[in-house]
Chains A and B, each alone.
Chain A
Amino acid sequence: MEVETAGGTAPAAAQPTDRAASGRPAGQGIMPLRFEGGAAEYFRIWIVNVCLTLLTLGIYSAWAKVRRNRYFYGCTRLDGSPFHYTANPVAILKGRLIVVPLFVAYVATGYLAPGYEVLFWVALLPLLPWLVVKARRFALSNSVYRNIRFGFDATYANAVPTFLVVPLLVAVTFGLAFPYFDYRRNRFLVERARFGTGRFAFAGRPGRFYLYYLAAAGAYVAGFIVMMTVIGGFVAFTVARPVDEGAAPPETSLLLMWLSGILLAVFILFVIALLKTLVTNYVFRHTTLEQLAFESRLNAVKLFWIYLSNTLAILISVGLLIPWAAVRSARYRIECVSVNAPNGLADFVAGEHGRVGAAGEEIADFLDLDIGL
């Protein structure tokens, strides 16, 4: 195929400016990530996953996870090339077989010896660094881009300061150290990651994290005050007046209570989106991989709108729009990222890697540990 350019015609493969359109890997400079998945295509994969998971009493869920991740990785393109997810479903199944009895034991303890389920959390705390390392290593060593595998090099001891000492500091300072923990967490997850033999580096500063958390807290307080004033005024106007006339409509006050509860939840969603936007953009901008630099241009309002409309769509569709919501939010988050590769992406060399069990990742998933980038 020949392509018209300012300098005449040239084979597409040799045209760096045309790489995004042709999908041919040849790029240098700033390259955005693309997401080429579609809701209709993913719906089919999703519904078959759900159906087989139910029919096999959950056994298939491990295969379902691999198929889902292979779809999302494969639809993510950088310089025309897809990412690949290569996890073995049997490893994930083993991880889940460890998690489910633990969950059952946890629930049983809560019933038979109430109060003692705290012991699970106490026992889990020293395991946290191990879980994070295992989970991260499983996820990254099963991610491949252009025949080069990602990796995560950290031991339990490496993770102890970040995931045991600093969390204790957070507890002692009643949460004041949390932005510092978030900084340390991101630094650890970036610095220990590698792509082949190439190492990621992080140049962020803790001060910025404090600034962002302060901004989110400020937005929350300001919004809360405004909302309470408006609702208070509304209540004074509509509810208090009939009381003077001797008829209090309880339905109205109940409705108002519901309404303000929903409004508050929506507002909290906005604050979460704001914080996520600020932190994610900052972390990407301060991450490098050898000569590669990263950029993320998430917008808090757009992210908030995606969160909100996804939630509504899922509720209204009784779950049937889950695939649509998943594709939509993946597309937005992925396409906000771009990579600056002054010398292209061809010079990476594969590193060593060993097989990793999935138990850590499955437990971490279950505890809702947010350790993804």
Chain B
Amino acid sequence: MTTLPVIYYPPGTSRPVHGEATVAPGVELQLKAGDIDVRHALADLRIEPRVGNVPRRITLPDGAALEIADNDALDVALSGVRRGGAGRWLHRLESRLTTVAGALVLTVVVVWMLVRFGLPAAAGWVARAVPPEMDARLGQTGLELLDRTLLSPSTLAPDQQVSLSRMFERIAGDGGDGHRFRLEFRSGADGIGANALALPSGIVVLTDELVELAANDDEVRAVMAHEVGHVIHRHTLRSILQHSSVVILVAAVTGDINFASSVAGGLPTLLLEAGYSREFEREADAYARDWLSRNGVEGDPLGALLERLSEHSGYGDGGFLASHPPTDERIQALDDPE
């Protein structure tokens, strides 16, 4: 028998009456408050599970309610009752230092595994399930958008364009999946300078500035193979999938979807995405290196071009927020296959 101070609210009113409840474990609760003296079987009561140390509400069958502030005494009184077991188990997890520390360690490990392996693997799996033909729609709209904003018409001589296109066809033909590869020439004078872009449908854009910067055909081939690598590895689709799941992950961790779109939630999202983007660049570099060695190209044309690009524009200094890995590291990776 345990007796607890309670605040009793008669059915449907906000008028508090101080009283006390005597609990016969596993059987019934006797309530004395004002001129009330009733007994209720414990099975007829709705007792909130414990959260922290906030007062608990017990609903009586007639619409009256009790508030009990002494959680420890209530737990002792109810210790024989089977119902509400899950709630009690949760409170036990939350109140023991060892389980709280365990939850913390487990959370860190699970988040790290998800970010490092889980999400990329899942995105890769989904991307492989989506047929390459689905990507076709994205190309033309994307190119039109770029033409309106960043790109202007190419000034390369027509015969140079023809020979570059022929070069590209050989590289793209080796990709051998459902993408329809196409090479487009543009000038990057309006801002992006020496650059190459891959659109998911298989359109690869080469800027005049990059063609000029390249010392020989092998360097141009290396860039083309790099861009073809982006398309074949479905990097656009995978980055969209990973972006969406990072947002959901941040929402799940913080328990608040609005948080994922706030400043404090946005920065980790940004960092993770930059990390994924660098991963994609490494994958495309590896594809290019592989193609070059298979086709008997000597030396390291991609590395040479990257180095010149880096001197030329300060591009590739790396850092946390960079979308590409630092140039030295990329050249290093190209030098030591695996």
Q: Which residues of A contact B (CB under 8 A)?
A: 13, 23-25, 37, 41-55, 58, 61, 64-65, 67-68, 70-71, 73-75, 81-82, 84, 86, 100, 103-104, 107, 110-115, 144-148, 196, 250, 265, 269, 310-311, 314-315, 318-319, 322, 345-350, 365-366, 368
A47 touches B14 (CB 8 A): no
Which A residues are in CB contact (< 8 Å) with B107?
47, 50-51, 54
A146 touches B253 (CB 8 A): no
A311 touches B100 (CB 8 A): no
Q: If A61-B252, A84-B57, A311-B264 touch, does A70 touch B14 (CB 8 Å cutoff)?
A: no
Q: If A45-B52, A81-B67 touch, does A54 touch B252 (CB 8 Å cutoff)?
A: yes
Distance (whole angstroms) from the CB of A230 to the closest CB of chain B: 22
Distance (whole angstroms) from the CB of B85 to the closest CB of chain A: 14
Distance (whole angstroms) from the CB of B303 to the closest CB of chain A: 24
Contact of A68 among B12, B90, B255 (CB under 8 A): B255
Query: How far apart sit A368 and B259, CA to CA, in the bound complex (Å)?
Result: 9
A53 touches B63 (CB 8 A): no
Query: How far apart sit A349 and B258, CA to CA, in the bound complex (Å)?
Result: 35
The digit string for B233-247, where 1 denotes a CB below 8 A from any CB of A, is: 000010011001000
B41-75 at interface with A (beta carbon < 8 Å): 48, 51-55, 57, 63-65, 67, 69
B268 touches A48 (CB 8 A): no
Contact of A107 among B15, B16, B244 (CB under 8 A): B244
Query: How far apart sit A310 and B262, CA to CA, in the bound complex (Å)?
Result: 12
What are 25 of the A-B contact pairs (CB < 8 Å)?
A43-B100, A51-B107, A51-B110, A55-B110, A58-B252, A61-B255, A70-B51, A73-B54, A74-B51, A74-B52, A74-B54, A81-B7, A82-B54, A111-B240, A113-B137, A114-B137, A147-B9, A147-B64, A310-B264, A311-B262, A315-B264, A319-B253, A365-B258, A368-B257, A368-B261
A144 touches B255 (CB 8 A): no
B52 touches A53 (CB 8 A): no
A346 touches B14 (CB 8 A): yes
Interface assignment of B155: CB less than 8 Å from any CB of chain A:
no
Contact of B54 among A58, A71, A112 (CB under 8 A): A71
Query: How far apart sit A324 and B178, CA to CA, in the bound complex (Å)?
Result: 52
Query: How far apart sit A91 and B95, CA to CA, in the bound complex (Å)?
Result: 27
Which B residues are in CB contact (< 8 Å) with A345?
14
Q: If A41-B52, A55-B110, A114-B138 touch, does A49 touch B255 (CB 8 Å cutoff)?
A: yes
A contacts with B: majority SS = helix
Which B residues are in CB contact (< 8 Å) with A265?
263
Interface assignment of B106: CB less than 8 Å from any CB of chain A:
yes
Contact of A146 among B14, B237, B240, B257 (CB under 8 A): B14
B253 touches A25 (CB 8 A): no
B257 touches A74 (CB 8 A): no
Which A residues are in CB contact (< 8 Å) with B142?
114
Q: If A47-B103, A54-B111 touch, does A67 touch B14 (CB 8 Å cutoff)?
A: no
**Beta-carbon nearest neighbor of B64 in chain A:** A147
Which B residues are in CB contact (< 8 Å) with A250?
314
Distance (whole angstroms) from the CB of A326 to the closest CB of chain B: 9
A44 touches B12 (CB 8 A): no
Interface assignment of B267: CB less than 8 Å from any CB of chain A:
yes
**Beta-carbon nearest neighbor of A320 in chain B:** B104
Query: How far apart sit A261 and B7, CA to CA, in the bound complex (Å)?
Result: 55
Distance (whole angstroms) from the CB of B275 to the closest CB of chain A: 15
Contact of A314 among B13, B255, B264 (CB under 8 A): B264
Contact of A148 among B14, B64, B314 (CB under 8 A): B14
Q: If A48-B103, A65-B255, A365-B257 touch, does A41 touch B67 (CB 8 Å cutoff)?
A: no
Query: How far apart sit A41 and B264, CA to CA, in the bound complex (Å)?
Result: 22
Interface assignment of B141: CB less than 8 Å from any CB of chain A:
yes
Contact of A147 among B13, B51, B110, B244 (CB under 8 A): B13
Which A residues are in CB contact (< 8 Å) with B67?
81-82
List 9 extra interface pairs beyond A47-B100, A61-B255, A84-B57, CB under 8 A. A50-B255, A70-B48, A103-B248, A112-B134, A144-B57, A147-B65, A346-B13, A350-B13, A365-B258
Which A residues are in CB contact (< 8 Å) with B253?
50, 53-54, 319
**Beta-carbon nearest neighbor of B54 in chain A:** A74
Interface assignment of B40: CB less than 8 Å from any CB of chain A:
no
A67 touches B90 (CB 8 A): yes
A114 touches B52 (CB 8 A): no
In the complex, the 4 A-B pairs of residues with the closest C-beta atoms, listed nearest first: A74-B54, A147-B9, A350-B12, A51-B103
A196 touches B255 (CB 8 A): no
A366 touches B257 (CB 8 A): yes
Which B residues are in CB contact (< 8 Å) with A100?
248
Distance (whole angstroms) from the CB of B105 to the closest CB of chain A: 9
**Beta-carbon nearest neighbor of A318 in chain B:** B268
The digit string for B102-132, where 1 denotes a CB below 8 A from any CB of A, is: 0110110011001000000000000000000
Distance (whole angstroms) from the CB of A276 to the closest CB of chain B: 14
Distance (whole angstroms) from the CB of B188 to the closest CB of chain A: 20
Distance (whole angstroms) from the CB of B66 to the closest CB of chain A: 9
Distance (whole angstroms) from the CB of B267 to the closest CB of chain A: 6
Contact of B13 among A46, A49, A348 (CB under 8 A): A348
Which A residues are in CB contact (< 8 Å) with B51?
45, 67, 70-71, 74
A44 touches B94 (CB 8 A): yes
B63 touches A107 (CB 8 A): no
Interface assignment of B93: CB less than 8 Å from any CB of chain A:
yes
Which A residues are in CB contact (< 8 Å) with B241?
107
Query: How far apart sit A46 and B259, CA to CA, in the bound complex (Å)?
Result: 15
A48 touches B93 (CB 8 A): yes
A319 touches B268 (CB 8 A): yes
Query: How far apart sit A319 and B94, CA to CA, in the bound complex (Å)?
Result: 19
Which B residues are in CB contact (< 8 Å) with A110?
240
Which A residues are in CB contact (< 8 Å) with B263?
265, 269, 311
Distance (whole angstroms) from the CB of B63 to the closest CB of chain A: 7
